[in-house]
Amino acid sequence: MALWITDECINCDVCEPECPNEAISMGPEIYQIDPHRCTECVGHFDEPQCVQLCPVACIPVNPAHVETRAQLMAKYEHLTALSPGPAEVSAAGTPATPS
Ligand code: SF4
Ligand code: SF4
């Protein structure tokens, strides 16, 4: 399951830089987690880093995004593939010629 941040968040800024998937960002009032980027840290760490660090324990699992560990690993692999190196960007056919 992806995780989510409840309204008990105190905006301490601790979790955002520690997320290996850049899934955490500042929302309109409190921090939020993009469920499409959160893998519960599967692929990176044994435990969810944000949960380990949050001082007020306001990051439960998101019941709206139930996923198995295999699905979380597949999401991790998909996210990794979305971060192309220079060769892959070139292969995508984007013209690099300045006008
Ligand atoms: Fe990011 Fe991991 Fe927290 Fe998900 S569990 S938001 S991937 S730090
Ligand atoms: Fe909010 Fe917890 Fe993240 Fe701090 S660590 S910004 S309290 S969710």
Tens-digit pLDDT profile for residues 3-46? 999 999 999 999 999 999 999 999 999 999 999 999 999 999 99
Per residue in 60-95, pLDDT (tens digit) is 998 888 899 999 999 999 999 987 655 544 444 444
- Is the CB of residue 79 below 6 angstroms from any atom belonging to ligand 1? no
- Is the CB of residue 41 below 6 angstroms from any atom belonging to ligand 2? no
**Residue from 32, 31, 29 nearest 12 by CA:** 31
Query: How far does the centroid of ligand 2 lie from the alpha carbon of residue 82, in Å?
Result: 26
Q: Atom of ligand 2 at shortest distance to CA of 16?
A: 3
What gap in Å lies between CA 46 and CA 56, rounded to an integer?
A: 21
Are 21 and 39 a contacting pair, CB within 8 Å? yes
Query: How far does the centroid of ligand 2 lie from the alpha carbon of residue 90, in Å?
Result: 38
Q: What is the pTM of this model?
A: 0.83
Q: What is the pLDDT of residue 2?
A: 86
Mean pLDDT score of the chain? 87
How far is C-alpha 41 from the geometric centre of its chain's CA atoms?
8
For 18, counting Cβ atoms within 10 Å of its Cβ (0-12 exposed, 13-18 middle, 19+ buried), the class is middle
